[in-house]
Amino acid sequence: MNILHLLSWFPTPDDPTLGNFCVRMIDALPEDCHSVILSVCDGKNMTKSFEVKEIPGAHHTHVQIYIRPPKINAIRKLKMLRMYQYGLKYIKKRFFKPDLIHLHVTYPLGQVALLWKKLSGYKYVLTEHWTIYQPQNKDVLVGKLKRKIVKIANNAELIMPVSLDLQQCMEGHGVNNRFKVIYNLVNTDMFKLREPPCIDWLRRMQSISSLPTSLRRNDMQGSTENDMHGGNEQPCIDSSLRTGLCRNDMQGSKKNDVHTWKKHILHISTLRDEAKNFSGILRVIERLRQQRDDFELHVIHDYEAPEFKAFVKEHHLEDCVIFHGKKTSAEVAEAYQNADFFVLFSNFENLPCVIVEAFASGVPVLSTSVGGIAEILSPERGILIPQGDENALLQGMNQLLDHSSEYDREAIRDYAIKTFAAQNIGQQIFEAYKEVVIP
């Protein structure tokens, strides 16, 4: 089956994480599904009117058309629309005639999908991630924009929202169509349980204890880098009792700069405060720091956050709030493995990938009950609190700092594998395609 993907949000050199979850969905599709992404964006320092590049992905090809942007916005929009028409012809010539268009996020690319349906009869399905339908954005989704979005959604053959809550929000705005909820996915090979960090050391101690006394001392003194006394490696306790990781694991500081007894709280987001309410987290961290000093908040974020860093400095929280900036996927996966629990204090969400990744890593989650989060976050996997309730956040942090080790991390991961594993989600999307292409 040949699928042409239109992404209203897609990664660019300036914003490499934008819409990356859409690309992960595409790469999760089975091999029988051949995928091409088409996108048009402004180029830099261009001498030609436009340029086409074919960028290979894991299981797709991205046809990226760069244009020399006109100075007048109306002319720019018209040129981009013409380039999408050109891109469709290019893909038909170079790759295939699409069996189906997959639109990821309704607007603005839904205008292209709707035009192709009217002009050429191409059917399209829609995967929706957007929080614009939620009650908090009722003043945004109005007027002409609302009419456009509802028309695009109602002309899809099938809508695949990432949560039941999102489906209900869309219906509340007048979207009357066929729905099939398909959750966000996670790479369960990358995001996984942490290996017990000192299992080799424990086994070594067990084997040493069985040795004769005369041999025991020599063995324990050792000379290799990883011996207990022969190198710089610090002995640690079993993962079920582990209270944190070495800060140099993520910051690259001196090897002996360890915080063995600090429990690690992890937060990952854009830090855009109107949505993520990171300022609320910091206010609660300040209160928590007055009660105890056995924790660190590790923050991975896409964008710079000078106002938050200033708050941390002003309130003398540098010893317990550590900003890490952007990290690679592998580094993010390691951060989950080193976390005692994950925290999210958002004002609105749909189905956050960060919670799905936490579950795949066996990490319990403390989150506000917004969007579709309550559909997946049960007491066995963490704690739900009301939106904006800083007292509840403080109570939840204290509870998880004291009891996070009591969660069954293997059970949390098993739930993630059954519910969000990339292969399973990819197959669900493929089955949805077949419902449309082969009724």
Whole-angstrom CA distances from 272 to 276, 302, 328 are: 6, 10, 20
- Residue 190 within any structural domain of the chain: no
CA distance 9 to 311: 32
Q: Count structural domains, the chain.
A: 3
CA distance 295 to 216: 36
| 378 in Cβ contact with 355 (< 8 Å) | no
Same-domain check for residues 285 and 383? yes
- Residue 17 within any structural domain of the chain: yes
- Residue 372 within any structural domain of the chain: yes
- Residue 171 within any structural domain of the chain: yes
Using the CB atoms, write b or e for 115-139: b if 16+ within 10 Å. Answer: ebbeeeebbbbbbbbbbbbbeeeee
Pairing of strands 50-56, 61-67: antiparallel
CA–centroid distance for 86 within its chain: 32
Same-domain check for residues 255 and 227? no
Using the CB atoms, write b or e for 8-42: b if 16+ within 10 Å. Answer: bbbbeeeeeeebebbbbbbbbbeeebbbbbbbbee
- Residue 192 within any structural domain of the chain: no
Residue 344 pLDDT = 98
Name the more confident of 260 and 54. Answer: 54
Using the predicted structure, report yes or no on whether residue 310 has a pLDDT greater than 60.
yes
> pLDDT tens digit string along 213-261?
444 444 434 433 333 333 333 333 333 333 334 434 444 344 444 445 7
Point out the least confidently predicted range of 12-21, 86-95, 144-153, 279-288.
12-21
Residue 18 pLDDT = 85
Using the predicted structure, report yes or no on whether residue 164 has a pLDDT greater than 60.
yes
127-137 average pLDDT score: 94
- Residue 368 within any structural domain of the chain: yes
Same-domain check for residues 107 and 204? no
Q: Which two tokens stand for residue 43?
A: 């180029």
Point out the least confidently predicted range of 42-51, 91-100, 117-126, 423-432.
42-51
Using the predicted structure, report yes or no on whether residue 199 has a pLDDT greater than 50.
no
CA distance 432 to 392: 40
110-127 average pLDDT score: 97
By the 10 Å C-beta count (0-12 exposed, 13-18 middle, 19+ buried), 357 is classed as buried
Query: Alpha-carbon Rg of the chain, whole angstroms?
Result: 25
Residue 83 pLDDT = 96
Q: Which two tokens stand for residue 69?
A: 């942007």
Using the predicted structure, report yes or no on whether residue 200 has a pLDDT greater than 50.
no
Same-domain check for residues 431 and 400? no
Point out the least confidently predicted range of 149-158, 237-246, 403-412, 423-432.
237-246
Same-domain check for residues 29 and 93? yes
Residue 435 pLDDT = 95
CA distance 398 to 391: 11
Count of CA atoms in the C-beta half-sphere (13 A) of 198: 19
Same-domain check for residues 283 and 386? yes
Same-domain check for residues 226 and 245? no
> pLDDT tens digit string along 61-92?
999 999 998 889 889 889 999 999 999 999 99
- Residue 405 within any structural domain of the chain: yes
Using the predicted structure, report yes or no on whether residue 279 has a pLDDT greater than 90.
yes
φ, ψ (nearest 5 deg) of residue 63: -90, 105
CA distance 437 to 386: 42
Same-domain check for residues 120 and 69? yes
Whole-angstrom CA distances from 276 to 50, 169, 189, 349, 388 are: 37, 20, 28, 9, 10
Residue 196 pLDDT = 63
- Residue 341 sits in a domain whose CATH number is 3.40.50.2000
> pLDDT tens digit string along 363-417?
999 999 999 999 999 999 999 999 999 999 999 999 999 999 999 999 999 999 9
Strand runs labelled E in 355-432: 365-368, 382-385
Q: Which two tokens stand for residue 10?
A: 């897609």
Same-domain check for residues 36 and 149? yes
Name the more confident of 251 and 13. Answer: 13
Same-domain check for residues 90 and 175? yes
Using the predicted structure, report yes or no on whether residue 296 has a pLDDT greater than 70.
yes
Closest Cα partner for 160 from 177, 173, 136? 177
Same-domain check for residues 150 and 223? no
Instruction: Provide, for the chain, the percentages of residues in helix, strand and coil under a 3-state DSSP scheme, each rounded to the nearest 5.
Output: 45, 20, 40
- Residue 193 within any structural domain of the chain: no
Same-domain check for residues 283 and 315? yes
Using the predicted structure, report yes or no on whether residue 267 has a pLDDT greater than 80.
yes
Using the predicted structure, report yes or no on whether residue 3 has a pLDDT greater than 90.
yes
Domain hosting residue 357, numbered range? 238-419
Using the predicted structure, report yes or no on whether residue 154 has a pLDDT greater than 90.
yes
CA distance 204 to 150: 64
